[in-house]
Amino acid sequence: MSGKYFPLSPEELSRLAERYGTPFYLYDERGIRENIRRFQAAFSGFPGFKEFFAVKACPNPFILKILADEGCGADCSSLPELILAEKSGITGENVMFSSNETPEKEYIYANLKGNILNLDDITHIPFVEKALGALPEVISFRYNPGPLKSSGVNAIIGKPEEAKYGLTRGQMFEAYRICRDKGVRRFGLHTMVASNELDTACFAETASLVFALAADLRRQLGVTVEWIDLGGGVGIPYKPGQQAVDYAELAARVQAQVDAVLVPAGLDAVKICWECGRPVTGPYGWLVTRAIHEKHIYREYIGVDASMADLMRPGMYGAYHHVTVNGKPDPTDWDSGSVKAGLEAGRDYRVYDVVGSLCENCDKFAVQRPLPPVETGDLLIIHDAGAHGRAMGFNYNGKLRCGELLLRTGGEVMEIRRQETVDDYFSTLDFRALSLFNAKSSE
């Protein structure tokens, strides 16, 4: 039996909580580095392979700097993300700007910095041309295969034919033709049609669809794409019993489609890219929170000092995150996904809803979850929170977002983002103007 990985002993975590207070995010530098190296090694046989880390998953410059050191680029979708990547040492064409409904100033900034513009719609061609004065030398388009894509559909991306993203297959040909005729000389091709998918067959299907489009673009328009970005969407095993994606198997499935589709089309030199976020940092980040209340009504509740404002995935998507209690045995047998197996091994448990303090009933990290008996003061570890966790935080109910800590490879811990303060919360408000407003209102 193997439990969920956590890099600190119960004593080390207790000392950390005393020093920094709870809640906080903790990331494991060693785990992130070793993981991205495994991912890149699986694709090392592909010419010019590049992973553009999805900044939206974990937008912290210390994390980005680690990934930049490991040779990653950055997938950005806003001006602040572009700046964050730049400050982390990821520049030029190592940045893929994949944004939809994008303001003019953001295209201008990305172009000035030499970033790759990955356009989300055919109408963005004249929009960008007007904003920049001319189309850039290199351009990419996001492909939405619509009903041609049958696997990987989920609540985040949605059915391709219902999703707001990308161009139809017919529009792709028109877009590349227009740009070719306007003097664009270098092209890329992009898609993103899955999220948190564990079945490698889904990505094989995606590769087949996109590779076929690349072959047809060359045959019909004489446009040879320089790279194909397969997007992200590779999942992680949040739940007991789920298996992690085998990177070698994933690479082999993509290579099979390269051999079947790209090589016969004379496109075997095309670079293959990914823009994964979740599988890179997700398993190596944890939200640590303290039990501060218990409640006994129609259910048993454990109230913690974190809330949905710190991790919204469970409340927003009904997403599962495994929860363990510091220093107490996990009642679940992780390998079998079975509470019964845990009980047979002598582990005691209670069934709780683990909740935060927002005025929303969906503010729950776990619903009817078997846990060891929890006492006020216990530290709870919410696992697999290293992607789309702190990044999706918000300030509803005036909640202050928690800080982030990094466990370095040498064992030391550094604070890479402090907790928000009340002053931070009020920093965009002008109370001097409010006092004038009150004075005028009373005249």
Is residue 359 part of the annotated active site? The answer reads yes
Instruction: Annotate the chain with three-state secondary structure.
Output: CCCCCCCCCHHHHHHHHHHHCCCEEEEEHHHHHHHHHHHHHHCCCCCCCEEEEEHHHCCCHHHHHHHHHCCCEEEECCHHHHHHHHHCCCCHHHEEEECCCCCHHHHHHHHHCCCEEEECCCCHHHHHHHHHCCCCCEEEEEECCHHHCCCCCCCCCCCCCCCCCCECHHHHHHHHHHHHHCCCCEEEEEECCCCCECCHHHHHHHHHHHHHHHHHHHHHHCCCCCEEECCCCECCCCCCCCCCCCHHHHHHHHHHHHHHHHCCCCCCCCEEEECCCHHHHHHHEEEEEEEEEEEECCCEEEEECCCCCCCCHHHHHCCCCCEEECCCCCCCECCCCEHHHHHHCCCCCEEEEEECCCCCCCCEEEEEEEECCCCCCCEEEECCCCCCCHHHCCCHHHCCCCEEEEECCCCCEEEEECCCCHHHHHCCCCHHHHHHHHHHHCC
Q: Which two tokens stand for residue 211?
A: 């590779």
Q: Exactly one of 58, 179, 359, 402 is catalytic; which is it?
A: 359
Angle at which helices 79-87 and 104-112 cross, to 10°: 20
Among residues 420, 419, 413, the alpha carbon closest in space to that of 27 is found at 413
Angle at which helices 169-181 and 124-132 cross, to 10°: 30
178 neighbors 128 (Cβ within 8 angstroms): no
Residues known to be catalytic: 359
